[in-house]
C-alpha cells in the first residue's frame, strides 16, 4: 500500500515562517487522508506550481492518482520523485506497484544506470562545492610545487597536482551531469488508458496503441504532436495531451 509522505524542514519553517505552499501542502495532505483525492490533487499541483522541486508534493500527488486508479499519472508523479531525488527508497516500490495494477506481467525499469543515479543523487550543488574546494587545493599544491622546486617534495607535489586535476575534471563533469539530469525532460509517460499514435501531423493514425504507463523518449516536436521513440526503437507521433514529460 502506498503511504502518504510528509517531509517538512523544521529549520526552514523556523527561519521563514509559514508559507503559502506549506499551507497548500497541509491542505492537500488533509484532503488525501480524508480520501478526497481529487481535492488533494488540486492542492498538491498548486504546491508544485510554487515549488517545482518539491519531492514530497510529487510523491503525494502520485499517491492520490494511484487511489483514483489513474496509474499512468501516478507513474509520472513517482518518476518525477526519482528525477528530483534518485536516492528515494519508496518511489521504486510505488512504481512497481502501479505497473502491477496495470497488468501483472508489467514491471518497472529505470531509464538511468545505477552510476548515473548515484551521481545525480549527490546533487549538482554538492559536486560543484567539491570542485571549488578541490580547485583551491590544486592552487595550493601548484604554489607549493614552485616554492619547493629543487627539493625532494617536487615529485610528490607534481603527482598530487596531477591527481587533483583528474578529480577536479571528474567533479565538474559530475556536477554538469547532475544538473542536466534534473533539467532534461526527454522521457515521458503515457497517461491515457489506450493512446493512439500517428504517422504524420495530418492525423493519419498508425496501427499502434500505447498502453497506460508506457515510457517513451521524446525526440522531436511537430506543429501539433510530439515525436517519440519506443523501447524497441519504433518512432511515432502522439498527442501532447496523452503523455506527461518526466
Q: End of a domain among 131, 153, 183?
A: 183
- 199 and 174 fall within a common domain: no
Angle made by CA atoms 211, 245, 214, in degrees to the nearest 5: 20
Question: Has residue 109 been placed in a domain?
Answer: no
* All residues at 6 or more sequence positions from 235 whose CB lies less than 8 Å from its CB, including other chains: 219, 227, 228, 229
- 15 and 95 fall within a common domain: yes
Question: Has residue 53 been placed in a domain?
Answer: yes
E-strand stretches of the chain: 187-190, 194-198, 205-211, 215-221, 225-229, 235-239, 243-245
- 88 and 47 fall within a common domain: yes
Of 27, 83, 89, 23, the closest CA to residue 58 belongs to 83
- Expressed as residue numbers, the domain containing 178 is 115-183
- 191 and 177 fall within a common domain: no
pTM value?
0.80
Please compute the mean of the pLDDT values over residues 126-130 and round it to a whole number: 94
Question: Has residue 1 been placed in a domain?
Answer: no
E-strand stretches of 108-234: 187-190, 194-198, 205-211, 215-221, 225-229
Q: Is the dihedral angle over the CA atoms 174, 177, 179, 181 positive or is it negative?
A: negative
- The whole-angstrom distance between residue 155's C-alpha and the CA centroid of its chain comes to 44
CATH code of residue 194:
2.30.30.40
Domain count, the chain: 3
Query: Is pLDDT larger for residue 211 or for residue 149?
Result: 211
CATH code of residue 66:
1.25.40.10
- 94 and 16 fall within a common domain: yes
Q: In residues, how long is the chain?
A: 246
Q: Specify the range with the lowest mean pLDDT, choosing from 27-31, 99-103, 122-126, 171-175.
A: 122-126
Q: Tell me the backbone φ, ψ of residue 243, rounded to 5 degrees.
A: -135, 160
Q: How many CB atoms lie within 10 A of CB 91?
A: 26
Query: What are the tens digits of pLDDT across the range 49-104?
Result: 999 889 999 999 999 999 999 999 999 999 999 999 988 989 999 999 999 999 98
The mean pLDDT value of the chain amounts to 89
Amino acid at each position: 500500500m502506498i503511504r502518504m509522505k510528509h517531509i517538512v524542514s523544521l529549520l526552514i519553517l523556523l527561519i521563514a515562517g509559514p508559507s503559502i505552499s506549506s499551507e497548500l501542502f497541509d491542505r492537500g495532505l488533509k484532503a488525501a487522508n480524508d480520501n478526497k483525492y481529487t481535492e488533494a490533487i488540486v492542492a498538491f499541483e498548486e504546491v508544485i506550481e510554487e515549488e517545482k522541486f518539491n519531492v514530497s508534493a510529487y510523491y503525494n500527488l502520485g499517491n492520490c492518482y494511484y487511489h483514483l486508479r489513474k496509474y499512468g499519472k501516478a507513474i509520472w508523479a513517482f518518476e518525477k520523485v526519482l528525477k528530483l531525488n534518485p536516492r528515494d527508497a519508496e518511489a521504486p516500490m510505488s512504481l512497481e506497484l502501479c505497473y502491477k495494477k496495470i497488468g501483472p506481467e508489467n514491471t518497472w525499469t529505470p531509464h538511468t544506470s545505477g552510476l548515473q543515479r548515484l551521481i545525480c543523487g549527490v546533487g549538482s550543488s554538492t559536486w560543484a562545492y567539491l570542485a571549488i574546494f578541490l580547485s583551491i587545493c590544486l592552487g595550493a599544491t601548484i604554489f607549493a610545487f614552485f616554492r619547493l622546486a629543487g627539493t625532494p617534495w617536487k615529485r610528490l607535489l607534481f603527482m598530487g597536482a596531477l591527481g587533483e586535476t583528474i578529480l577536479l575534471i571528474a567533479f565538474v563533469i559530475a556536477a554538469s551531469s547532475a544538473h542536466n539530469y534534473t533539467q532534461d525532460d526527454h522521457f515521458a509517460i503515457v497517461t491515457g488508458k489506450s493512446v493512439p499514435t500517428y504517422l504524420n501531423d495530418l492525423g493519419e493514425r498508425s496501427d499502434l496503441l500505447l498502453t497506460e504507463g508506457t515510457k517513451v523518449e521524446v525526440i522531436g516536436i511537430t506543429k501539433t504532436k510530439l515525436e517519440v521513440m519506443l523501447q524497441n526503437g519504433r518512432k511515432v507521433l502522439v498527442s501532447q495531451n496523452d503523455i506527461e514529460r518526466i
